Amino acid sequence: MDWKIISKKIDKAQLTQTDHQPIYLVYVRDDVGNNIEAKEAYGINHRTEVTKEFIHKYESQGIVKIEHEE
């Protein structure tokens, strides 16, 4: 199987007047293009945690690619 984990920047959160954090949508896509599960992530570190969570949850499906779109 050729499943993917994809993340896209969807918004920016303003933490303070000078500090902003990107908001990502991280999702799992199966080999025919269906989105299986999605989760919002706040910042790069959280995006990494969500990506690892999906890798662990769907490892039996054969994740072959991780794409981080900026």
CB-CB neighbours of 29 under 10 Å: 18
Short-list 53, 62, 1, CA closest to 27 = 53
Tell me, what DSSP letter sits at residue 59? Answer: G
Residue-level length of the chain: 70
Rounded CA separation 27/42 (Å): 14
The model's pLDDT over 31-64, given as tens digits with 9 standing for 90+, comes to 999 999 999 999 999 999 999 999 999 999 989 9
Where do we find the tokens 């920047």? 9
This prediction has a pTM of 0.89
Tell me what pLDDT residue 70 has: 76
